[in-house]
Amino acid sequence: AQSVTQLGSHVSVSEGALVLLRCNYSSSVPPYLFWYVQYPNQGLQLLLKYTTGATLVKGINGFEAEFKKSETSFHLTKPSAHMSDAAEYFCAVSEATGGFKTIFGAGTRLFVKA
Amino acid sequence: DTGVSQDPRHKITKRGQNVTFRCDPISEHNRLYWYRQTLGQGPEFLTYFQNEAQLEKSRLLSDRFSAERPKGSFSTLEIQRTEQGDSAMYLCASSKSSGTGGGQPQHFGDGTRLSIL
């Protein structure tokens, strides 16, 4: 069965500092992996996805994530945080073989200090 | 691409009442999903449609919950005899299908926030 663990329900960084949000997944087959961002009272917006191919995936707003199969991880990074990055971030996994269901992690709230 | 639209955005009702939410997916998307999100949690899968066929329902979806997508376009989610525990954000998402499933990202609406008094 698929599962997602996001390490740290809250992360606080200073503006301009590195953002690192951690995600580990469990899947019995090759996974598809996603990061979504959610602003208050809104739905989720896709930041980036990994399906196959290059393990370093670039997304919108300067975010990127690296798929590491040996570590079953898909951590999200951004070199320099901006105030507008403050939001809730969700890591998600779905399976590649006939799967449609996407399982979401519990989320990490990112705070950005001026 | 006008995005996924959900109506209403907010619903306040008394315990025991029935409520119905509507979701209009992106027009060319044939997959439609319903999720429930409670405070501090990620979305939890409720059910999924491919065109008009409801292909899976979560065990979270009790017999008080029913979803339809009659013509493969918009969908409705109905909750009968609402309970306090039904208070949550109900999110709808849509996606294109892909050959092996799972790989297409889902596009989310802004949700319907349900509050049970």
Look at residue A98 and tell me whether its pLDDT is greater than 90.
no
Give the model confidence (pLDDT) of B39-65 as tens digits. Answer: 889 999 999 899 999 988 888 788 999
Asked if A102's CB is within 8 angstroms of B100's CB, the reply is no
What is the band of B1 on the pLDDT scale with cuts at 50, 70, 90?
low
Q: Tens digits of per-residue pLDDT, B58-78?
A: 887 889 999 999 988 999 999
CB-CB contact of A6 with A108 (8 Å): yes
Partners of residue A45 in chain B, C-beta under 8 Å = 108
For residue A32, the distance in angstroms to the closest alpha carbon of chain B comes to 6
Contact list, B26 vs chain A (CB under 8 Å): none
Dig out the tokens for B48 from the structure: 């999924």
How confident is the model over A88-99, as a mean pLDDT?
A: 79
B103: Cβ–Cβ under 8 A, 6 or more apart, which residues?
Answer: A32, A49, A51, A94, A96
Q: What is the mean pLDDT of residues A41-67?
A: 92
**Min CA distance, A1 vs chain B (Å)?**
14
How does DSSP classify residue B99? T
Cα dist from B102 to A48, A93, A100, A102, B51, whole Å: 14, 9, 4, 7, 16
CB–CB of A101 and B31 under 8 A? no
Say how far apart CA B42 and CA B51 lie, in whole Å.
Answer: 25
pLDDT at B107: 92
